[in-house]
Amino acid sequence: MQASAMPDKKSEKREKGDKKLLPLYSEEKEIKLQTTENDFSGNNGDSVKTLRQILEKNKAVTILLGKAKPRKTKAVITLLDNLPDSDAEAFNNTAHLIINMEDDLLEKIAHLHNENIKLRSKALIDKLTGLYNHRFFSAQLETEMARTRRTGLSCTLLMIDLDNFKRLNDTLGHTEGNKFLSSIAGSIRENVRPTDAACRYGGDEFMIILPATTINYAARTAQRLKNAIEKLSEPLHLGISASIGIAEFTVTLSWGVDEFINAADSAMYESKKKGKNRISVAEGKGLDEGEAGLVSPEEKEALFKVYDSLKKEGKNDDF
Amino acid sequence: MMTSEIPVVTSVSSGKGGVGKTFATINLAACLSRMGRKVLIVDCDLGLANIDIMLGVNPQYTLKDVIFGSLEFPDVVISTKYGFDFVPASSGIKEMAQLLYENIDRINAAIGNIALSYDHVLLDTGAGISENVLQFTLFAKRNIVVLNRELTSLTDAYATIKVIYQTFGRHNFEIIVNSTRGDDEGKNIFAHIDTISGKFLGFHLNYLGQIPYDEAVSRSILKQEVLSFMNPQSLAAINCSLIAGKMADWR
C-alpha cells in the first residue's frame, strides 16, 4: 500500500470508532489494485483475480488494500469515476466501502457497482437539498439549449433568489437555515414537472430549467413557487420571500449558456430592485420582444383591435 | 436572359416563424425565374436554415463557409431545376451572428459582388426580431415582411418593421399577407397595419399582395416541391406569380 494514499491518523481513528473511513481522495484516474495476492491470507487468490478483472474492465474505481489485522484484510475502495477534478469535492463527502475478506467478495463487488452508480448521480446532486447541483445545472442547460436549437421549441430558465434569507441564519442559526432551504427544495420539487431540472445554484439561489416551455407557462410555475415559498416562510415572520427572474431561450437567439443565465439573473435582479417578492421577465431579444416592451401598449392595443375585427369578420373561418 | 444594370437586393422577414416566409421566398424566386429574371436566394437563417430542406437538397458548403471560412459566394452557390440559384445556410451556429457583425463590411461587399450576376437577390432572414437576425436587412434595398392573420404574427411583423426602422433606418417595407381567406383579407389586414405604422412610426407601407390559403401549399412543402413550378395553376401559385410580376418591375 502506498504511503501517499494512506488515510491520515485522524481518519484511522475514525475507522476504529465506526465502519466509516474518512474519505480518501486520490488523483489516480486509473484503476490501481495496489496489492498482490500475498496480502490476503488463505485461499482468496481467485476471488481477488476476479475482483481485479472486474475492476479493470470498469475503469472507474481505485482500490486500496490494507492489512489492518492478520486474517482481517480490508479493501478500502475509493469510488473514482473518470470525472473531472471538480468532482473531487463531491467524492470527498462520501464514505468509502470497506471489504472484509471474510465476506463474499463477489457479493461485495456487486454492491460496489451499485454504489458506484449511486455515487455518479450523487456527484450531480446537492447534498443539502437533494436538488441537482451547480455542475449538473451547467451541463443540463447546455443540453437543453442544444435541444432548442434542434427542435425549435423554446426553453425557459427560472432563477429564484430568496429575499432576506440571511435574517434566518442570523437569528435562528445555520442549522435552521439549512432546514428551511431543504423544505424550500422539497416544495420546488413538488411544483415542477418531472422533465424540469431544479437545481441549487448557490447558497439561497435556485435555478429551474423548463424544457419545451415558453414564458407564459414558466410564469405560472414561478407564481406557484413564489406562493409556496411565501407560505413556508410565513411562520418565521422574517419577511423571507422569493425574487424570481424568468428568461426564455428561443431558437432565433444567438445566446450561449452565459447569456441565458445572465438574462435570468438580470430579470431576478429586476425583481429585487422593484422591491423583492415578485417575478420579472427578461427583456430578451427574441420573439417575445414584442411583449417585453418593444411594442408599446398603445401599439399592442391597436394590433389587437385588428385581430379582433378580423375575428368578427371571419366568423365562419377557423380562427 | 435579361439582366438589369443594378441588381435588386430584397430581404424577406416575418417576425414570427411559421407564417410562410420561406415558402414565399422560394416561390417568388421560381416565378421571377420563369419571367426570365436571374435570381439568387441567400438563406440567412442562422438559427434554423431550411431552404435546403424545402428544396430537398443536402448542401456540402454553406453560408458559414463564406462567413467563417475562406470560400467565396460563387463556391457555395447551388443551381436548382427551378431556375434560381441559392446559397444554403447552416443551422444552429450561435457564434455566427457575432461573426457576421464583425465581418459586416466584407459580407456586404461579397453580397454586392455576387449580386452583379443576378437581377434579384432574395435574403431569407431568420424568424425573430433580434438585431442579429435582421442584420441582413442592412444589405437590402427593399424589405418584404410576410405576415398572416394570427395575433402573434401581426405583433411580431409590426415589431420587425419597427426594429428594422429603428435600428437600420429603413422604411421601405413591402407587405405580403399569407394564408388569407377571401379576396379582401390581404388588403384588409394590410390597411390596418398600414394605419398603425402611419400613426405610430410615421411612414406608410406598401402592399405587395396576398397568398390565399391553399391546401396545395402544405402538400408541396411535404413533398419538398416548389408549388409555382409543379402546380402553377393552383390558387396560391397564381398569387405568387402576381406578386413576382410586381417585383420584376423593381429597380
Against a cut of 0.90, is the pTM above it?
no
Q: Which of B48, B131, B185 sits opposite A152 (nearest CB)?
A: B48
Look at phi and psi of residue A239 and say left if phi exceeds 0, alpha if psi is from -120 to 50, else beta: left
Domains contained in chain B, number: 1
User: Quick one: closest CA in A to B93, which residue?
Assistant: A254
Cell numbers linked to A85: 477534478
Whether B128 and A250 lie within 8 Å, measured CB to CB: yes
Q: To probe the interface with A, which of B151, B165, B166, B195 has the most A CB atoms within 10 Å?
A: B151
Q: Cα A254–A259–A264 angle (5° rounding)?
A: 125
Distance CA B25, CA B133 (A): 16
More confident residue, B106 or B250: B250
Rounded-to-integer distance, Cα B11 and Cα B136, Å: 7
- Here the cell at position B169 is 433606418
Q: ipTM of this predicted complex?
A: 0.80
Nearest one of B193, B159, B137 to A289, comparing CA atoms: B159
Mark yes or no for CB contact A254/B46 under 8 Å. Answer: yes
Residue B109 lies in a domain: yes
Residue range(s) defining the domain that contains residue B20? 8-248
Q: Where are the alpha helices (DSSP H) in chain B?
A: 21-34, 51-55, 63-67, 73-76, 94-102, 104-115, 131-134, 151-168, 185-200, 215-222, 227-230, 235-248
In a domain, B117, yes or no: yes
| Residue B3 domain flag | no
Of A37, A46, A43, give the one whose Cα is nearest residue A75. A37
* Pairwise CB contact (< 8 Å): A252 & B155: no
**CA A313 to CA B149: how far, in whole Å?**
12
Instruction: Identify whether the C-beta of residue B140 lies closer than 8 Å to the C-beta of residue B122.
Output: no
pLDDT single digits (tens) B13-53: 988 777 889 899 999 999 999 999 999 999 887 656 677 77
Which chain B residues are closer than 8 Å to A153 by Cβ?
A: none
B131/A314 Cβ within 8 A:
no
Residue B171 has pLDDT above 90, yes or no: no
Which of A204, A258, A308, A317 is catalytic? The answer is A204
Residue of B nearest to A288 (CA): B156
Summarize pLDDT for B140-151 with one digit per residue, the tens.
889 999 999 888
Q: Can you give the CATH number for the domain in which B40 is found? A: 3.40.50.300
Number of A/B CB contacts below 8 angstroms equals 113
> Does residue B129 sit within a domain?
yes
Q: What are phi and psi of A107, to 5 degrees?
A: -60, -40
Per-residue pLDDT of chain A in tens (319 residues, 90 and over written 9): 333 334 344 433 333 333 332 222 232 322 333 333 333 334 444 545 545 544 444 433 444 444 444 444 444 444 444 333 434 343 333 323 444 444 455 455 556 655 665 666 677 888 899 999 998 899 889 888 988 877 777 899 999 999 999 999 999 999 999 999 999 999 999 888 878 899 999 899 999 999 888 887 888 889 899 999 999 999 999 999 999 999 999 877 878 899 999 999 999 999 999 889 999 888 653 333 433 347 777 888 888 888 888 877 764 455 5
Is B2 within the bounds of a domain? no
Cβ-based neighbour number of residue A47 at 10 Å: 18
